[in-house]
A and B are shown apart, each in its own frame.
Chain A
Amino acid sequence: MTGTSPAVVSASKLGLTFQTNDGPVQALSNVDLTIGKGEFVSFIGPSGCGKTTLLRVIADLEKPTSGTISVNGMTPEQAREKRAYGYVFQAAALFPWRTIERNVALPLEIIGLSRVEQAERIRRTMELVNLSGFEKKYPWQLSGGMQQRASIARALAFDADLLLMDEPFGALDEIVRDHLNEQLLELWARTNKTICFVTHSIPEAVYLSTRIVVMSPRPGRVSDVIESTLPKERPLDIRETPEFLAIAARVRDGLRAGHSYDD
């Protein structure tokens, strides 16, 4: 789909083995992957398949033990130092002692932006996630969905071209999740960012992605990569179409093939 655009993330023969008390655990094995600019790539798989680990390797939160990986043509560490990405965690991870506005300002304070520039960026990102008017609230005054939106705003504040999202909507209920999925697609269309999205929900992965990376556990590896044939414009009811269901079925097959349900 985006074969000609420059690679934002490029991994080859990537492996990561954790040393634990119960011996080595192979979290990632032989992962080959190229993500082009502007793609929306979902990583799906059962727990323990290394999807979060892969995202953390891209973010330089974990170091690979074998293979190579580049982010924007640099090592992940260099990319992190250049603040090449925004990261959204499973929980909103807002600082409870800061207002929403000051939470979004946190990365901007760290890169040393002036207050005036901060205000402008905050205004813009709060608008992107539809949180205008909640700037002065503290996190506990917001619902879970709004908190997660605030954390997305914080990840966007850098204005990095790459957005890494680790099951950001996993803890939210179905209705809020649908709503945020819709908003995320809209945001992606408006900003043209590259998004890597970890999920364990098949409908979510199919609905959002241009490409779905199916992963399987023990050792964590890529078992299938599915290009989505869905159009870029996706209303929620696209999930009832045969095309959508066909892709979902393929994802499910991929998950089943890579995972033994006997144990």
Chain B
Amino acid sequence: MDTFRDKLIPVTSILLGVVVLWYVFAVILNAPFQRDLDRRANETSTFSEFIGKTLSQPKPTLPAPHQVAVNFFENTFLRPITSTRSLVYNAWVTLSSTLLGFAFGTALGIIIAVGIVHVATLDRSLMPWIIASQTIPILAVAPMIIVVLAAIGVTGLIPKAMISTYLSFFPVTVGMVKGLRSPEIMHLDLMHTYNASASQTFWKLRVPASVPFLFTSMKVAVAASLVGAIVGELPTGAVAGIGAKLLAGAYYSQSIDIWSALVAGSVVAALLVMVVGIAGRLVDRAMGGRPA
């Protein structure tokens, strides 16, 4: 009941507000084209007829929420999931490279963080480059990665996953550097009084202390991974994936398709962040975390 009052009502109110606003803008933005159509067809329509028509154009400037919902529903639930037009199929294509890239990115991020925390030279030499790497626009880097990898014969899933890796290792590195350095002086002193070796301090103190930081940064990383995978699909001329759907929609002015692909992408992102969040909470519980 409390979750209902504390979360559901505020979230639903905002959602309703957004939908109402969306309809208003759909009418406003689609009206000029509709007026044009009506004039050429020599039609006059009442106000409510006119509103109805602006909300049911086949290629609207801004599709109405119900048009997107219908398109999303049809392409998700009514098509066989093997169809290239199925959103489930396309989401799966994107998801697979997202997950692969995320796994690489997390592993790479952890390895770099361990290096930075333990080797003073790496701390000074690597960190500026890592930060610089994230200031380069991914849209510029993505095609080059695809082209370079294709030149050495690597195509398909790996190049897309590499772009996800490129985006997702960064939050993990930053989070893990912080996490591995998070033990209090007192805990480090304690290990010193035990004459613990560096590896004992690492495994028994630094690693467990960094776990909450890892999951927080993994939530950011998994969302970045998805963006990477979608961006990776744009310049490759990929035939499948959410990115490919967006591009095809843009080519053929299928604005409804674009929006429903966007919704599919958001749903996948929300699910991914949720799964990481749940995994984080389970691990926290297993590590004796106080229930919130």
Chain B residues within 8 Å of A59, by CB = 193
Q: What are 29 A-B interface contacts by the 8 Å CB criterion?
A: A60-B192, A60-B193, A61-B192, A61-B193, A80-B192, A80-B193, A83-B194, A87-B189, A87-B190, A89-B186, A90-B186, A91-B186, A95-B187, A95-B204, A96-B289, A97-B209, A97-B211, A97-B287, A98-B288, A106-B194, A107-B194, A109-B204, A110-B191, A110-B194, A110-B195, A110-B200, A138-B290, A139-B288, A140-B288
Chain B residue nearest in CB terms to A111: B194
B186-228 CB contact bits vs A (8 Å, 1 = yes)?
A: 1101111111100010001100110100000000000000000
Question: Which residue in chain A gives the minimum CB-CB distance to B283?
Answer: A97
Question: Which residues of A from 95 to 140 have beta carbons under 8 Å from B?
Answer: 95-99, 106-107, 109-111, 138-140
Contact (Cβ within 8 A) A99 B288: yes
> What are the residues of chain B within 8 A of A97 when measuring CB–CB?
208-209, 211, 287-289
B204 touches A81 (CB 8 A): no
Q: Provide the residues of chain A in CB contact with B38, threshold 8 Å.
A: none
Tell me the complex Cα distance, A110–B194, Å: 7
Docked Cα-Cα span, A85 to B190, in Å, equals 12
Expressed in whole angstroms, the minimum distance between the Cβ of A85 and any Cβ of chain B is 7
| Cβ-defined partner of A89 (8 Å) among B189, B204, B290 | B189
Does any Cβ of A come within 8 Å of B74's Cβ? no
Chain B interface residues (CB < 8 Å from chain A): 184, 186-187, 189-196, 200, 204-205, 208-209, 211, 287-290
Contacts of A96 in B (CB 8 A): 287-289
* Closest B residue by C-beta to A112: B200
User: In the complex, A165 Cα to B205 Cα: how many Å?
Assistant: 22
Interface size (A, Cβ < 8 Å)?
Answer: 26
Which B residues lie within 8 Å of A81 (CB)? 195
* A187 contacts chain B at the CB level, 8 A cutoff: no
Closest to B212 in A: A97
Instruction: Report, nearest first, the 3 A-B pairs whose CB atoms are least far apart.
Output: A138-B288, A97-B287, A87-B193
Contact of A140 with B290 in the complex, beta carbons under 8 Å: yes
Asked if B200 and A85 make an inter-chain contact with CB atoms under 8 angstroms apart, the answer reads no
Establish whether residues A110 and B288, one from each chain, have CB atoms under 8 Å apart when the complex forms.
no
- Chain B residues closer than 8 Å to A107, beta-carbon distance: 194
Chain A residues, CB < 8 A from B194: 83, 106-107, 110-111
**Residue on A nearest B192 in the bound complex, by CB:** A61
CB distance from A94 to the nearest CB of B (A): 9
Question: Are B186 and A93 in contact, CB atoms less than 8 angstroms apart?
Answer: yes
Nearest CB in chain A to that of B286: its residue: A97
| Smallest beta-carbon distance A80→chain B, Å | 6
Are the CB atoms of A93 and B184 closer together than 8 Å?
yes
B190 touches A83 (CB 8 A): no
Chain A residues near B187 (CB-CB < 8 A) = 93, 95
- Considering the complex, give the chain A residue whose CB is closest to the CB of B190: A93
On whether the beta carbons of A85 and B193 are closer than 8 Å, the reply is yes
What residues of A have a CB within 8 angstroms of the CB of B184 in the complex? 93
Chain B, Cβ-Cβ closest to A154? B190
Chain A contacts for B192, CB-based, 8 A:
60-61, 80
Minimum CB distance partner of B287 in chain A: A97
A60: which B residues are within 8 A, CB to CB?
Answer: 192-193
The complex places the Cα of A61 from the Cα of B188 at a distance, in Å, of 10
Chain B residue with the shortest CB-CB distance to A59: B193
Cβ of A83 and Cβ of B189 under 8 Å apart?
no
User: Among the listed B189, B196, B205, which residue makes an inter-chain contact with A95, where contact means beta carbons less than 8 Å apart?
Assistant: B205
Residues of B within 8 A of A106 (CB): 194, 204
Cα A97 to Cα B288 with chains together (Å)? 5
When distances are taken between beta carbons in the complex, the residues of chain A under 8 Å from B209 are 97
Instruction: Report A7-35 residues with CB < 8 Å from chain B CB.
Output: none
A93 to B193, CA, bound (A): 13
Asked whether A110 lies within 8 Å of B204 as measured between CB atoms, the reply is: yes
Q: Which residue of A lies closest to B191 (CB)?
A: A110
Instruction: Determine the residue in chain B with the shortest Cβ distance to A158.
Output: B194
Q: Are B196 and A110 in contact (CB under 8 A)?
A: yes
Q: How far is the CA of A110 from the CA of B290 in the complex (A)?
A: 26
For the complex, give the distance between the alpha carbons of A47 and B208 in Å: 34
Residues of B with C-beta under 8 A to A87: 189-190, 193
Residue in B209, B287, B288, B289 with the greatest tally of chain A CB atoms within 10 Å: B288
Complex Cα spacing A139 to B189, Å: 19
User: Given the complex, which residues of B lie within 8 Å of A93, measured CB to CB?
Assistant: 184, 186-187, 190
Interface core residue of B192, B194, B208, B209 (most chain A CB under 10 Å): B194
Rounded to whole angstroms, the CA-CA distance of A93 and B204 in the bound complex is 14
- B190 contacts across to A, CB distance below 8 A: 87, 89, 93
Q: How far is the CB of A90 from chain B (nearest CB, A)?
A: 8
Q: Which residues of B contact A138 (CB under 8 A)?
A: 288, 290
A170 to B192, CA, bound (A): 23
**A83 contact set on B, CB distance < 8 A:** 194-195
User: A97 — nearest CB in chain B belongs to which residue?
Assistant: B287
- State in angstroms the CA–CA spacing of A91 and B209 once bound together: 17
Docked complex Cα distance between A109 and B190 (Å): 14
CB neighbours (8 Å) of A85 from chain B are: 193
A61 contacts B189, C-beta separation under 8 Å: yes
